[in-house]
Amino acid sequence: GSCNTLRKLAPKLAQVAAERVQQELHYLLTSPDTPWLYAAWEDQVLQVWLGKIPAQNVQQIEQIEHSAWLLSKIWTDLGEQLHRPIGNDSTLLSLTKLASLVSPDPNTAQTQLETLKYSRLEIRTVTNLLEHLPRLLDIADSPLSQEEQYFLFQNIGSHFPALAVLTVAVVAHQDTLRETRIVGLIAPLVNTYLDPQSQIAHPTPLLTGKDLIQQLALPPSPQIGQLLTKIQLARIAGTVTNREEALEYARSQLNQQ
């Protein structure tokens, strides 16, 4: 299998075409059979390309598989999205596992994955997860405000199911007893994400930039985008509920400046 192939290649691995390695790694990450991956790690095969990988990160992949199963049992829609294809041969789930093997630093991870010839889309998915993971791991001590949730969903977009799985997996891998608690803390976010009507996760603006320019006689500038964000946050907070109130709110913001 892939592992034997990789084992034979290990000494010459640095010269082997990156695409080939990416392909072998892909088989290892899409198979639910984690022991192969662990064997490849023990043989120092992965390290040639990805540098030092702590043992716990490789072991964590099994936990990712379990967390994905668990969250899919609770939210079937989330499960379906995890198997959505991305880039060449990847899925959201296989890229979640990949995020566990690369450097936790998004920039370093990007370089590692570029070397392995991953597509820009796949790399962006992994770095997006790494950028937001620290904040979600902190959710027990400091819950996300509605405003933070809004910006989280704006930035993470359709990668959210992967972020949820990764967060649960990292916490559960550190301490199995904390699994139930972290699932409970993530639950409201998952429900928000899966609700198409949610103004936090899937905002439908009351006004467009064009409306602001026409109605308030404003020149096009970054200020328009800032105003639209403020209006959406006011809407989430419940202080603005319709178009007229949104315009009124925009006017009041301008008067304060």
Going from N- to C-terminal start, the domains of the chain cover 2-194, 209-256
pLDDT bracket for residue 239 (50, 70, 90):
very high
CB 162 within 8 A of CB 67: no
> Does residue 194 or residue 178 have the better pLDDT?
194
For residue 13, is pLDDT > 60? Answer: no
Q: Which residues contact 14 (CB under 8 A, 6 or more apart)?
A: 48
Judged by DSSP in three states, 86 sits in strand
**What would the mean pLDDT of 40-51 be, rounded to a whole number?**
62
Q: What are the tens digits of pLDDT across the range 60-87?
A: 888 999 999 999 999 999 999 999 988 7
> Does residue 43 or residue 169 have the better pLDDT?
169
For residue 17, is pLDDT > 80? Answer: no
Query: What's the mean pLDDT when you consider all of the chain?
Result: 87
**pLDDT > 90 fraction of the chain, expressed in percent and rounded:** 61
> Does residue 234 or residue 55 have the better pLDDT?
234
**pTM of this prediction?**
0.83
pLDDT of residue 51: 65
pLDDT of residue 5: 67
pLDDT of residue 177: 85
Token pair for 223: 């200020």
Q: Which residues contact 9 (CB under 8 A, 6 or more apart)?
A: 16, 45
**H helix or E strand, kind and range, residue 203:** none
pLDDT bracket for residue 117 (50, 70, 90):
confident
**pLDDT > 70 fraction of the chain, expressed in percent and rounded:** 80
Residue 91 phi, psi dihedral angles, 5° rounding: -125, 170
pLDDT of residue 57: 72
**What would the mean pLDDT of 150-178 be, rounded to a whole number?**
95
pLDDT of residue 138: 95
For residue 133, is pLDDT > 60? Answer: yes
CB 205 within 8 A of CB 88: no
For residue 218, is pLDDT > 80? Answer: yes
The DSSP string of 112-143 is HHHHTT--HHHHHHHHHHHHHHHHHHTTTTSP
Q: What are the tens digits of pLDDT across the range 244-256?
A: 999 999 999 988 8
> Does residue 15 or residue 130 have the better pLDDT?
130
pLDDT of residue 250: 94
pLDDT bracket for residue 128 (50, 70, 90):
very high
